[in-house]
Amino acid sequence: MDIVQPNDLEQSFCVARRRHAELGRQNQIFNARNRILGGDTKTWDIQVCDRKIKEATEKARHETFAAELRHNDKMMCILENRERRGRRNLCKALHDFQQSFQKPETRREFDLSDPLARRREFPARQGDNDARNTVSGMQRFMGEDLNFHARQRFQQEQNREWFLQQQREWKEARADQKHAEDLYTETRLQFDQTAQDLEHRERATRRAVSAAVKQFNKTQASELAERKSLEKKQEQEDDLAHISNLLRGDLLSEDPQQAASSFGPHRVVPDRWKGMSQSQLGDIRLRLQEEQRQRDSDWDRQRVEKARAEVLCERQQRRQQRGLDPGGCRPPLLLWWEEALP
């Protein structure tokens, strides 16, 4: 039975770790996706998973805080309602206690604030010549004597006389105002009659002017219609002449001479040029075919020269090889081909 030593375990662990690192490196190197993108997808997936776990944890924590806040708000509302209800009950009990056991008439200072105290006292004076009515007492003023009713009746009679006098003056003023209004109405009627006469005359004048303007407008309309008819007829004739000139002209007749430029026979006017003729196109095709033949011949000549240069190079190499091997013999076919070359 073999005994495993600690050094063997450490070496095995190091070998396994290096092997795992080598496999991971090979996976990164031979994996085209990781090599092109230049990133570790597994690490990214782990980071994404960690981020999702963190977001879920934050969301759960926020929801816990929100639930705790709602619970606290509810408890605060219950406590506030309870405190408000207790304060209201306390105020009601205090008011009932004051109404039952602390009435105003049971107080020692009630005589200072008794609302019926003045009714129980003696009057301030019993007559105008009362000895208690001193100057400093200020109990008698003008209009506050005991002869108030007689004086009031006298004042009422006096006020009635003043009212009757004012009524008479008002009636006289009303009569004068009515007379002035009648005079104003009569004058206004005269002015209205004059205005109506002037308005009738103005209407007659307006009708006459309107009739004249209407007749003038009819005359102008008939002249305008006639002028427009003549202009339309002339325009139609001009259009027909223009169309006829275009149809018979050089622009639509495909005449190549109308595109000739004044700067030389080799130049044309772009806005009048209708394209090249068949002869010109044939010359261009012939020129293109000649250029193509010339290019083909050049390519053939270059290929022949290149092949000749390759053959010469190969012959030179063979000569060099024969110089290095003097005892060798030359193949008859090869000698014939070399002699045949120029």
129 against 176, higher pLDDT: 176
Query: What are residue 264's DSSP bridge partners?
Result: 261
**100-128: pLDDT as tens digits:** 888 877 777 787 777 887 777 776 666 66
Tokens encoding 246: 């275009």
SS (H, E, C) 237-296: HHHHHHHHHHHHCCCCCCCHHHHEECCEEEEECCCCCCCCCHHHHHHHHHHHHHHHHHHH
Name 117's Cβ contacts closer than 8 Å, sequence gap at least 6.
Answer: 111
- Ranges 19-23, 30-34, 195-199: which has the least confidence: 30-34
Please give the Cα distance from 321 to 112 (Å, whole number). 155
* Amino acid 7: pLDDT: 65
pLDDT exceeds 90 at position 168? yes
Please give the Cα distance from 304 to 311 (Å, whole number). 11
Q: Residue 92 — very low, low, confident or very high, per pLDDT cuts 50/70/90?
A: very high
277 against 283, higher pLDDT: 283
The whole-number average pLDDT for the span 59-88 is 91
> How many Cβ atoms are within 10 Å of 146's Cβ, its own excluded?
13
pLDDT exceeds 50 at position 339? no
The number of residues in the chain equals 342
* Amino acid 117: pLDDT: 77
**Do 260 and 268 touch, CB atoms closer than 8 A?**
yes
pLDDT exceeds 90 at position 32? no
Q: Residue 36 — very low, low, confident or very high, per pLDDT cuts 50/70/90?
A: low
263 against 197, higher pLDDT: 197
Q: Residue 328 — very low, low, confident or very high, per pLDDT cuts 50/70/90?
A: very low
In the predicted model, what is the mean pLDDT of the chain? 80
**Domain boundary assignment for the chain:** 6-98, 174-248, 283-342
pLDDT exceeds 60 at position 336? no
The amino acid that residue 145 corresponds to is D
pLDDT exceeds 90 at position 78? yes
pLDDT exceeds 80 at position 308? yes
* Amino acid 340: pLDDT: 44
pLDDT exceeds 90 at position 145? no
The whole-number average pLDDT for the span 49-61 is 86
Name 301's Cβ contacts closer than 8 Å, sequence gap at least 6.
Answer: none
> What's the maximum distance between 2 C-alpha atoms anywhere in the chain?
187
184 against 112, higher pLDDT: 184
pLDDT exceeds 90 at position 79? yes
Please give the Cα distance from 161 to 325 (Å, whole number). 175
Please give the Cα distance from 244 to 233 (Å, whole number). 16
pLDDT exceeds 70 at position 183? yes
Please give the Cα distance from 25 to 80 (Å, whole number). 68
Q: Give the single-character DSSP code of 64.
A: H
The whole-number average pLDDT for the span 182-192 is 90
Please give the Cα distance from 338 to 342 (Å, whole number). 8
Closest CA to 315 of 338, 342, 340, 339: 338
* Amino acid 341: pLDDT: 45
- Ranges 1-5, 42-46, 47-51, 197-201: which has the least confidence: 1-5
The whole-number average pLDDT for the span 298-321 is 90
